[in-house]
Structure 1
Amino acid sequence: MLWLGEIFAIDICAYAVMTNHVHVVLHVNLRQSEQWSMEEVITRWHRLYKGVPLSHRYLNGDRFSPAEEKILMTLVEQWRETLTCRFWEGRFKSQALLDEKALIAGMAYVDLNPVRANIAATPETSDHTSIQKRILSIQNNRQQPSELMPFVGHIKQEMPEGIPFPFKDYLELVDWTGRAMREDKPGFIDNQQPPILTRLDISEAQWHRLTQRFEKQFKCFAGQKSSFEKIKDCFNLNRMPPNLLAG
Protein backbone atom coordinates (compact mmCIF):
# COMPACT_ATOMS: atom_id res chain seq x y z
CA MET A 1 0.00 0.00 0.00
CA LEU A 2 2.79 2.44 0.86
CA TRP A 3 4.52 1.54 -2.41
CA LEU A 4 1.32 2.22 -4.38
CA GLY A 5 1.05 5.57 -2.63
CA GLU A 6 4.38 6.54 -4.19
CA ILE A 7 3.03 5.81 -7.69
CA PHE A 8 -0.55 7.07 -7.58
CA ALA A 9 -1.47 10.71 -6.93
CA ILE A 10 -2.55 9.58 -3.47
CA ASP A 11 -1.38 10.74 -0.05
CA ILE A 12 -1.82 8.19 2.74
CA CYS A 13 -2.97 9.95 5.91
CA ALA A 14 -3.67 6.93 8.13
CA TYR A 15 -3.88 3.15 7.89
CA ALA A 16 -4.39 0.10 10.07
CA VAL A 17 -3.81 -3.38 8.67
CA MET A 18 -5.91 -5.84 10.68
CA THR A 19 -6.01 -9.65 10.48
CA ASN A 20 -8.73 -9.80 7.82
CA HIS A 21 -9.27 -6.22 6.62
CA VAL A 22 -7.59 -2.85 6.29
CA HIS A 23 -8.62 0.73 7.11
CA VAL A 24 -7.13 3.71 5.29
CA VAL A 25 -7.58 7.48 5.10
CA LEU A 26 -6.46 8.80 1.71
CA HIS A 27 -6.07 12.19 0.07
CA VAL A 28 -6.50 12.38 -3.71
CA ASN A 29 -3.83 14.86 -4.81
CA LEU A 30 -5.36 16.16 -8.01
CA ARG A 31 -3.06 19.18 -8.13
CA GLN A 32 -0.02 16.91 -8.07
CA SER A 33 -1.20 14.76 -10.97
CA GLU A 34 -2.09 17.81 -13.06
CA GLN A 35 1.51 18.99 -12.74
CA TRP A 36 3.06 15.70 -13.85
CA SER A 37 4.91 15.89 -17.16
CA MET A 38 4.31 13.28 -19.84
CA GLU A 39 7.57 11.60 -18.84
CA GLU A 40 6.49 11.51 -15.17
CA VAL A 41 3.16 9.87 -16.00
CA ILE A 42 4.81 7.25 -18.23
CA THR A 43 7.51 6.48 -15.66
CA ARG A 44 4.93 5.98 -12.92
CA TRP A 45 2.78 3.83 -15.20
CA HIS A 46 5.75 1.62 -16.10
CA ARG A 47 6.28 0.87 -12.41
CA LEU A 48 2.90 -0.87 -12.47
CA TYR A 49 2.46 -2.07 -16.05
CA LYS A 50 4.56 -2.88 -19.11
CA GLY A 51 3.28 0.09 -21.05
CA VAL A 52 3.16 0.14 -24.84
CA PRO A 53 5.90 0.37 -27.49
CA LEU A 54 5.17 4.08 -27.99
CA SER A 55 5.70 4.86 -24.29
CA HIS A 56 9.04 3.02 -24.25
CA ARG A 57 10.11 4.79 -27.40
CA TYR A 58 9.25 8.13 -25.80
CA LEU A 59 11.47 7.44 -22.81
CA ASN A 60 14.26 6.39 -25.20
CA GLY A 61 14.04 9.78 -26.92
CA ASP A 62 12.72 8.52 -30.26
CA ARG A 63 11.03 10.85 -32.74
CA PHE A 64 7.28 10.55 -33.41
CA SER A 65 5.03 11.27 -36.32
CA PRO A 66 2.10 13.63 -35.58
CA ALA A 67 -0.28 10.65 -35.54
CA GLU A 68 1.92 8.69 -33.11
CA GLU A 69 2.29 11.70 -30.84
CA LYS A 70 -1.49 12.18 -30.73
CA ILE A 71 -2.03 8.51 -29.81
CA LEU A 72 0.55 8.67 -27.05
CA MET A 73 -0.86 11.90 -25.61
CA THR A 74 -4.31 10.31 -25.43
CA LEU A 75 -2.90 7.27 -23.65
CA VAL A 76 -0.94 9.39 -21.19
CA GLU A 77 -4.05 11.39 -20.23
CA GLN A 78 -5.91 8.12 -19.63
CA TRP A 79 -3.05 6.89 -17.47
CA ARG A 80 -2.94 10.20 -15.59
CA GLU A 81 -6.64 9.85 -14.74
CA THR A 82 -6.19 6.25 -13.61
CA LEU A 83 -3.24 7.19 -11.40
CA THR A 84 -5.38 9.92 -9.83
CA CYS A 85 -8.84 8.41 -9.32
CA ARG A 86 -8.59 4.64 -9.38
CA PHE A 87 -6.52 3.79 -6.31
CA TRP A 88 -9.25 1.57 -4.82
CA GLU A 89 -12.34 3.16 -6.29
CA GLY A 90 -15.39 0.93 -6.52
CA ARG A 91 -13.88 -2.04 -4.71
CA PHE A 92 -14.12 -1.00 -1.08
CA LYS A 93 -16.54 0.77 1.23
CA SER A 94 -15.60 4.42 1.50
CA GLN A 95 -16.71 7.77 2.89
CA ALA A 96 -15.73 11.24 1.72
CA LEU A 97 -14.17 13.37 4.47
CA LEU A 98 -15.34 16.90 3.81
CA ASP A 99 -13.46 19.00 6.38
CA GLU A 100 -10.75 19.01 9.04
CA LYS A 101 -13.08 17.70 11.76
CA ALA A 102 -13.99 14.65 9.69
CA LEU A 103 -10.36 14.13 8.66
CA ILE A 104 -8.97 14.04 12.20
CA ALA A 105 -11.88 11.91 13.46
CA GLY A 106 -11.39 9.41 10.64
CA MET A 107 -7.66 9.21 11.26
CA ALA A 108 -8.14 8.64 14.99
CA TYR A 109 -10.72 5.96 14.26
CA VAL A 110 -8.31 4.17 11.94
CA ASP A 111 -5.24 4.50 14.18
CA LEU A 112 -7.13 3.16 17.21
CA ASN A 113 -8.44 0.01 15.50
CA PRO A 114 -5.91 -2.41 17.08
CA VAL A 115 -6.58 -0.91 20.52
CA ARG A 116 -10.33 -1.22 20.04
CA ALA A 117 -9.90 -4.85 18.95
CA ASN A 118 -7.77 -5.53 22.05
CA ILE A 119 -4.85 -6.54 19.83
CA ALA A 120 -2.59 -3.83 21.24
CA ALA A 121 -2.55 -2.00 24.55
CA THR A 122 -1.41 1.37 23.21
CA PRO A 123 -1.12 3.16 19.86
CA GLU A 124 2.68 2.95 19.91
CA THR A 125 2.54 -0.87 20.25
CA SER A 126 -0.06 -1.22 17.48
CA ASP A 127 1.78 -3.01 14.68
CA HIS A 128 1.01 -2.24 11.05
CA THR A 129 -0.52 1.16 11.74
CA SER A 130 0.33 4.63 10.52
CA ILE A 131 0.54 6.05 14.04
CA GLN A 132 3.19 3.49 15.04
CA LYS A 133 5.13 4.23 11.85
CA ARG A 134 4.99 7.96 12.57
CA ILE A 135 6.12 7.46 16.19
CA LEU A 136 9.02 5.18 15.25
CA SER A 137 10.16 7.55 12.52
CA ILE A 138 10.12 10.51 14.89
CA GLN A 139 11.99 8.52 17.55
CA ASN A 140 14.62 7.17 15.16
CA ASN A 141 15.06 9.96 12.64
CA ARG A 142 13.30 12.91 14.24
CA GLN A 143 11.52 13.30 10.91
CA GLN A 144 8.09 12.40 9.63
CA PRO A 145 7.92 9.29 7.40
CA SER A 146 8.08 10.20 3.72
CA GLU A 147 5.49 7.55 2.78
CA LEU A 148 2.75 9.30 4.76
CA MET A 149 1.12 12.70 4.38
CA PRO A 150 2.90 14.94 6.89
CA PHE A 151 1.44 16.95 9.74
CA VAL A 152 2.16 20.60 8.96
CA GLY A 153 0.86 22.39 12.05
CA HIS A 154 -1.86 24.96 12.55
CA ILE A 155 -3.85 26.26 9.58
CA LYS A 156 -2.27 29.41 8.19
CA GLN A 157 -1.81 31.20 4.90
CA GLU A 158 0.67 29.74 2.40
CA MET A 159 1.13 26.62 4.49
CA PRO A 160 2.73 23.53 2.91
CA GLU A 161 0.43 20.73 1.79
CA GLY A 162 -0.32 18.31 4.59
CA ILE A 163 -2.50 17.51 7.58
CA PRO A 164 -3.33 20.88 9.21
CA PHE A 165 -2.60 19.94 12.83
CA PRO A 166 0.54 19.64 14.97
CA PHE A 167 1.57 15.99 15.29
CA LYS A 168 2.03 16.36 19.06
CA ASP A 169 -1.59 17.44 19.44
CA TYR A 170 -2.71 14.47 17.36
CA LEU A 171 -0.78 12.04 19.53
CA GLU A 172 -2.32 13.51 22.68
CA LEU A 173 -5.75 13.36 21.10
CA VAL A 174 -5.47 9.71 20.06
CA ASP A 175 -4.15 8.72 23.46
CA TRP A 176 -6.89 10.65 25.24
CA THR A 177 -9.58 9.16 23.01
CA GLY A 178 -8.27 5.65 23.51
CA ARG A 179 -8.28 6.00 27.27
CA ALA A 180 -11.78 7.48 27.30
CA MET A 181 -13.30 4.67 25.26
CA ARG A 182 -11.69 1.61 26.88
CA GLU A 183 -14.81 0.21 28.49
CA ASP A 184 -13.04 -3.03 29.48
CA LYS A 185 -10.42 -1.20 31.57
CA PRO A 186 -10.75 0.90 34.74
CA GLY A 187 -9.69 4.51 34.42
CA PHE A 188 -10.90 8.06 33.86
CA ILE A 189 -10.76 10.94 31.41
CA ASP A 190 -8.49 13.82 32.27
CA ASN A 191 -10.45 17.04 32.74
CA GLN A 192 -7.94 18.94 30.60
CA GLN A 193 -8.97 18.62 26.96
CA PRO A 194 -6.34 18.30 24.23
CA PRO A 195 -5.79 21.57 22.38
CA ILE A 196 -7.15 20.20 19.12
CA LEU A 197 -10.63 19.65 20.52
CA THR A 198 -10.85 23.25 21.67
CA ARG A 199 -9.50 24.52 18.35
CA LEU A 200 -11.98 22.52 16.28
CA ASP A 201 -14.85 23.06 18.74
CA ILE A 202 -15.76 19.39 18.95
CA SER A 203 -17.71 18.55 22.08
CA GLU A 204 -16.90 15.42 24.07
CA ALA A 205 -20.16 13.78 22.96
CA GLN A 206 -19.48 14.58 19.29
CA TRP A 207 -15.95 13.28 19.48
CA HIS A 208 -16.97 9.94 20.97
CA ARG A 209 -19.72 9.55 18.39
CA LEU A 210 -17.30 10.31 15.58
CA THR A 211 -14.53 7.95 16.63
CA GLN A 212 -16.50 5.10 18.16
CA ARG A 213 -18.75 4.23 15.23
CA PHE A 214 -17.28 6.25 12.37
CA GLU A 215 -18.26 3.88 9.54
CA LYS A 216 -21.82 3.36 10.80
CA GLN A 217 -22.43 7.03 11.50
CA PHE A 218 -21.42 8.22 8.03
CA LYS A 219 -22.40 6.29 4.92
CA CYS A 220 -20.94 8.30 2.03
CA PHE A 221 -19.97 11.69 3.47
CA ALA A 222 -18.50 12.83 6.77
CA GLY A 223 -18.26 16.41 7.91
CA GLN A 224 -20.24 19.48 8.91
CA LYS A 225 -23.51 20.49 7.26
CA SER A 226 -21.86 23.67 6.00
CA SER A 227 -19.17 21.60 4.28
CA PHE A 228 -21.79 19.41 2.60
CA GLU A 229 -23.58 22.50 1.25
CA LYS A 230 -20.39 23.48 -0.58
CA ILE A 231 -20.04 20.18 -2.47
CA LYS A 232 -23.60 18.86 -2.87
CA ASP A 233 -24.05 20.39 -6.35
CA CYS A 234 -20.97 18.52 -7.60
CA PHE A 235 -22.70 15.23 -6.80
CA ASN A 236 -26.21 16.35 -7.83
CA LEU A 237 -27.47 15.79 -4.29
CA ASN A 238 -30.58 17.51 -2.95
CA ARG A 239 -31.14 15.75 0.36
CA MET A 240 -28.93 16.28 3.40
CA PRO A 241 -27.29 13.00 4.51
CA PRO A 242 -28.10 11.96 8.09
CA ASN A 243 -25.70 12.34 11.00
CA LEU A 244 -23.67 15.27 9.66
CA LEU A 245 -22.11 17.47 12.31
CA ALA A 246 -23.77 20.74 13.18
CA GLY A 247 -22.16 23.86 11.76
Structure 2
Amino acid sequence: MRSQNTGEVTFHIEPYKNRDEQNMYTNVKYIIDKYGNHPAFYRYKTETGKALPMFYVYDSYITTPEKWANLLTSSGSRSIRNSPYDALFIALLVESKHRYEILRGGFDGIYTYFATNGFTYGSSYENWAKLKYFCDQYNLIFIPSVGPGYIDTSIRPWNTQNTRNRINGKYYETALSAALQAQPSIISITSFNEWHEGTQIEKAVPKRTSNTVYLDYRPHKPSLYLELTRKWSEKYRKERAAYALDPQLPLF
Protein backbone atom coordinates (compact mmCIF):
# COMPACT_ATOMS: atom_id res chain seq x y z
CA MET A 1 0.00 0.00 0.00
CA ARG A 2 1.24 3.48 -0.87
CA SER A 3 0.92 6.79 0.91
CA GLN A 4 -0.66 9.16 -1.61
CA ASN A 5 0.98 12.28 -0.22
CA THR A 6 4.56 11.08 -0.10
CA GLY A 7 4.89 8.04 -2.32
CA GLU A 8 5.92 5.97 0.71
CA VAL A 9 5.05 2.29 1.05
CA THR A 10 3.42 0.32 3.83
CA PHE A 11 2.56 -3.37 3.93
CA HIS A 12 -0.80 -5.11 3.50
CA ILE A 13 -0.35 -8.53 5.10
CA GLU A 14 -2.52 -11.23 3.56
CA PRO A 15 -3.72 -14.32 5.48
CA TYR A 16 -0.93 -16.65 4.44
CA LYS A 17 -0.97 -20.30 5.51
CA ASN A 18 -0.83 -20.79 9.29
CA ARG A 19 -0.50 -17.07 10.00
CA ASP A 20 -0.19 -16.59 13.77
CA GLU A 21 1.55 -14.44 16.35
CA GLN A 22 4.81 -16.40 16.05
CA ASN A 23 5.42 -16.06 12.34
CA MET A 24 3.89 -12.56 12.27
CA TYR A 25 6.59 -11.47 14.72
CA THR A 26 9.23 -13.05 12.52
CA ASN A 27 7.85 -11.47 9.36
CA VAL A 28 7.44 -8.00 10.85
CA LYS A 29 11.00 -8.18 12.17
CA TYR A 30 12.23 -9.17 8.71
CA ILE A 31 10.36 -6.32 7.02
CA ILE A 32 11.64 -3.68 9.44
CA ASP A 33 15.21 -5.02 9.43
CA LYS A 34 15.30 -5.11 5.63
CA TYR A 35 13.33 -1.98 4.71
CA GLY A 36 12.98 0.09 7.88
CA ASN A 37 15.75 2.54 6.99
CA HIS A 38 14.63 3.04 3.40
CA PRO A 39 13.39 6.60 2.69
CA ALA A 40 10.23 5.17 1.06
CA PHE A 41 9.29 3.13 4.15
CA TYR A 42 6.14 4.75 5.56
CA ARG A 43 5.96 5.75 9.19
CA TYR A 44 2.97 7.32 10.93
CA LYS A 45 3.55 10.00 13.53
CA THR A 46 1.51 9.16 16.63
CA GLU A 47 0.13 11.55 19.23
CA THR A 48 3.12 10.74 21.45
CA GLY A 49 5.49 11.94 18.75
CA LYS A 50 6.75 8.50 17.75
CA ALA A 51 6.99 7.69 14.06
CA LEU A 52 5.97 4.04 13.73
CA PRO A 53 5.61 1.66 10.79
CA MET A 54 2.05 0.72 9.90
CA PHE A 55 0.82 -2.72 8.89
CA TYR A 56 -2.65 -3.42 7.49
CA VAL A 57 -3.73 -6.97 8.41
CA TYR A 58 -6.22 -8.36 5.92
CA ASP A 59 -8.77 -10.88 7.24
CA SER A 60 -7.41 -10.34 10.73
CA TYR A 61 -10.62 -11.81 12.18
CA ILE A 62 -9.73 -15.37 11.10
CA THR A 63 -7.08 -15.44 13.85
CA THR A 64 -8.36 -15.40 17.41
CA PRO A 65 -8.05 -12.22 19.50
CA GLU A 66 -6.11 -14.23 22.08
CA LYS A 67 -3.39 -15.03 19.54
CA TRP A 68 -3.20 -11.43 18.37
CA ALA A 69 -2.96 -10.30 21.99
CA ASN A 70 0.16 -12.43 22.40
CA LEU A 71 1.78 -10.23 19.75
CA LEU A 72 0.06 -6.87 20.19
CA THR A 73 -0.26 -6.33 23.95
CA SER A 74 2.61 -5.46 26.25
CA SER A 75 1.98 -8.51 28.43
CA GLY A 76 1.71 -10.92 25.49
CA SER A 77 3.92 -13.98 25.29
CA ARG A 78 5.35 -12.83 21.93
CA SER A 79 4.88 -9.12 22.44
CA ILE A 80 6.22 -6.70 19.88
CA ARG A 81 5.33 -3.69 22.01
CA ASN A 82 8.04 -1.33 23.27
CA SER A 83 10.59 -3.14 21.14
CA PRO A 84 12.53 -1.96 18.06
CA TYR A 85 9.83 -3.73 16.02
CA ASP A 86 6.83 -2.01 17.52
CA ALA A 87 4.40 -0.71 14.92
CA LEU A 88 0.79 0.25 14.29
CA PHE A 89 -1.33 -2.74 13.33
CA ILE A 90 -4.61 -2.04 11.55
CA ALA A 91 -7.28 -4.76 11.61
CA LEU A 92 -9.97 -5.37 9.00
CA LEU A 93 -13.46 -4.76 10.35
CA VAL A 94 -16.12 -6.64 8.40
CA GLU A 95 -18.88 -7.26 10.96
CA SER A 96 -19.98 -5.03 13.83
CA LYS A 97 -18.90 -7.64 16.39
CA HIS A 98 -15.30 -7.41 15.15
CA ARG A 99 -14.94 -4.10 17.03
CA TYR A 100 -14.55 -5.84 20.37
CA GLU A 101 -12.40 -8.65 19.00
CA ILE A 102 -10.06 -6.01 17.57
CA LEU A 103 -9.87 -4.34 20.97
CA ARG A 104 -9.10 -7.62 22.73
CA GLY A 105 -6.45 -8.42 20.16
CA GLY A 106 -4.51 -5.26 20.90
CA PHE A 107 -4.77 -3.66 17.45
CA ASP A 108 -4.12 0.04 16.96
CA GLY A 109 -6.88 0.74 14.48
CA ILE A 110 -9.39 -0.53 11.95
CA TYR A 111 -9.91 -0.22 8.22
CA THR A 112 -12.89 -1.25 6.12
CA TYR A 113 -11.19 -2.27 2.84
CA PHE A 114 -14.13 -3.09 0.55
CA ALA A 115 -15.10 -0.63 -2.19
CA THR A 116 -18.74 -1.76 -2.22
CA ASN A 117 -21.03 0.39 -0.11
CA GLY A 118 -23.42 -1.92 1.77
CA PHE A 119 -21.43 -5.11 1.18
CA THR A 120 -20.36 -5.38 4.83
CA TYR A 121 -21.09 -3.49 8.03
CA GLY A 122 -17.65 -1.91 7.82
CA SER A 123 -17.90 -0.88 4.17
CA SER A 124 -21.31 0.79 4.62
CA TYR A 125 -20.97 4.56 4.68
CA GLU A 126 -23.90 4.91 7.09
CA ASN A 127 -21.87 3.15 9.80
CA TRP A 128 -18.70 5.22 9.56
CA ALA A 129 -19.71 7.87 12.08
CA LYS A 130 -20.48 5.14 14.64
CA LEU A 131 -17.19 3.39 13.93
CA LYS A 132 -15.28 6.65 14.28
CA TYR A 133 -16.99 7.28 17.62
CA PHE A 134 -16.09 3.80 18.80
CA CYS A 135 -12.46 4.27 17.74
CA ASP A 136 -12.27 7.62 19.52
CA GLN A 137 -13.55 6.02 22.71
CA TYR A 138 -10.78 3.44 22.69
CA ASN A 139 -7.96 5.47 21.13
CA LEU A 140 -7.99 3.54 17.86
CA ILE A 141 -7.24 4.89 14.39
CA PHE A 142 -10.26 4.77 12.10
CA ILE A 143 -9.46 4.32 8.40
CA PRO A 144 -12.50 4.22 6.09
CA SER A 145 -11.78 2.72 2.68
CA VAL A 146 -13.20 4.19 -0.51
CA GLY A 147 -13.23 3.07 -4.14
CA PRO A 148 -14.31 4.33 -7.56
CA GLY A 149 -16.81 1.51 -8.13
CA TYR A 150 -16.91 -2.26 -8.31
CA ILE A 151 -17.79 -4.87 -10.92
CA ASP A 152 -16.40 -8.40 -10.99
CA THR A 153 -19.07 -10.24 -12.99
CA SER A 154 -16.59 -11.15 -15.74
CA ILE A 155 -15.02 -13.60 -13.26
CA ARG A 156 -17.91 -13.98 -10.76
CA PRO A 157 -21.10 -13.91 -12.84
CA TRP A 158 -23.18 -14.66 -9.74
CA ASN A 159 -22.06 -11.51 -7.91
CA THR A 160 -24.20 -8.89 -9.62
CA GLN A 161 -25.65 -7.68 -6.30
CA ASN A 162 -22.26 -6.21 -5.37
CA THR A 163 -21.74 -4.27 -8.59
CA ARG A 164 -21.47 -0.54 -7.96
CA ASN A 165 -21.62 1.67 -11.04
CA ARG A 166 -19.08 4.48 -11.25
CA ILE A 167 -21.72 6.99 -12.43
CA ASN A 168 -19.03 9.07 -14.16
CA GLY A 169 -17.13 9.60 -10.90
CA LYS A 170 -20.14 10.31 -8.68
CA TYR A 171 -19.81 7.03 -6.76
CA TYR A 172 -16.16 7.83 -5.94
CA GLU A 173 -16.94 11.37 -4.85
CA THR A 174 -19.86 10.21 -2.69
CA ALA A 175 -17.55 7.75 -0.94
CA LEU A 176 -14.87 10.39 -0.39
CA SER A 177 -17.42 12.85 0.94
CA ALA A 178 -18.75 10.23 3.39
CA ALA A 179 -15.20 9.46 4.53
CA LEU A 180 -14.38 13.12 5.17
CA GLN A 181 -17.55 13.58 7.18
CA ALA A 182 -16.33 10.90 9.60
CA GLN A 183 -13.24 13.06 10.31
CA PRO A 184 -10.70 10.22 10.12
CA SER A 185 -6.94 10.58 10.50
CA ILE A 186 -6.39 8.50 7.36
CA ILE A 187 -8.50 7.54 4.35
CA SER A 188 -7.49 4.51 2.29
CA ILE A 189 -8.34 3.99 -1.36
CA THR A 190 -9.02 0.38 -2.32
CA SER A 191 -7.67 0.22 -5.83
CA PHE A 192 -5.40 -2.16 -7.66
CA ASN A 193 -4.57 -3.19 -11.20
CA GLU A 194 -7.10 -6.03 -11.03
CA TRP A 195 -9.11 -4.56 -13.86
CA HIS A 196 -11.56 -7.48 -13.75
CA GLU A 197 -12.84 -6.05 -10.44
CA GLY A 198 -13.20 -2.52 -11.76
CA THR A 199 -11.46 -0.72 -8.88
CA GLN A 200 -8.73 0.97 -10.90
CA ILE A 201 -8.13 4.72 -10.80
CA GLU A 202 -5.25 4.69 -13.29
CA LYS A 203 -5.64 6.18 -16.74
CA ALA A 204 -7.97 3.99 -18.80
CA VAL A 205 -8.64 3.72 -22.51
CA PRO A 206 -11.09 1.37 -24.30
CA LYS A 207 -10.01 -2.29 -24.18
CA ARG A 208 -11.78 -5.44 -25.27
CA THR A 209 -10.79 -9.12 -25.33
CA SER A 210 -12.72 -12.11 -26.60
CA ASN A 211 -14.25 -12.55 -23.14
CA THR A 212 -14.26 -9.14 -21.49
CA VAL A 213 -14.98 -5.50 -22.18
CA TYR A 214 -12.99 -3.46 -19.67
CA LEU A 215 -14.43 -0.28 -18.24
CA ASP A 216 -13.08 3.04 -19.42
CA TYR A 217 -14.05 6.56 -18.42
CA ARG A 218 -15.59 7.92 -21.59
CA PRO A 219 -16.86 10.57 -22.22
CA HIS A 220 -14.32 11.87 -19.70
CA LYS A 221 -10.55 12.00 -20.01
CA PRO A 222 -8.51 8.85 -19.24
CA SER A 223 -7.12 10.68 -16.19
CA LEU A 224 -10.54 11.40 -14.62
CA TYR A 225 -10.04 9.37 -11.43
CA LEU A 226 -6.51 10.58 -10.83
CA GLU A 227 -7.82 14.14 -11.07
CA LEU A 228 -10.67 13.37 -8.67
CA THR A 229 -8.19 11.79 -6.26
CA ARG A 230 -6.03 14.92 -6.37
CA LYS A 231 -9.06 17.17 -5.88
CA TRP A 232 -10.30 15.32 -2.80
CA SER A 233 -6.81 14.84 -1.37
CA GLU A 234 -6.32 18.59 -1.41
CA LYS A 235 -9.75 19.14 0.15
CA TYR A 236 -8.98 16.58 2.85
CA ARG A 237 -5.59 18.16 3.57
CA LYS A 238 -7.08 21.64 3.96
CA GLU A 239 -9.89 20.48 6.21
CA ARG A 240 -7.53 18.44 8.37
CA ALA A 241 -5.36 21.52 8.79
CA ALA A 242 -8.39 23.61 9.76
CA TYR A 243 -9.56 20.96 12.21
CA ALA A 244 -6.10 20.79 13.80
CA LEU A 245 -6.29 24.54 14.50
CA ASP A 246 -9.79 24.25 16.00
CA PRO A 247 -10.78 20.72 17.12
CA GLN A 248 -14.37 21.90 17.63
CA LEU A 249 -14.68 22.89 13.97
CA PRO A 250 -16.70 20.27 12.02
CA LEU A 251 -15.25 19.13 8.73
CA PHE A 252 -18.60 19.75 7.06
| TM-score for both structures, normalised by structure 1 | 0.26
Task: Name the structure where strand makes up a greater proportion of residues.
Answer: 2
User: Per chain length, whose mean CA-contact separation is higher, i.e. which structure has more relative contact order (CA < 8 Å, sep 6+)?
Assistant: 1
| TM-score for both structures, normalised by structure 2 | 0.26
Q: Who wins on radius of gyration, i.e. which is larger?
A: 1
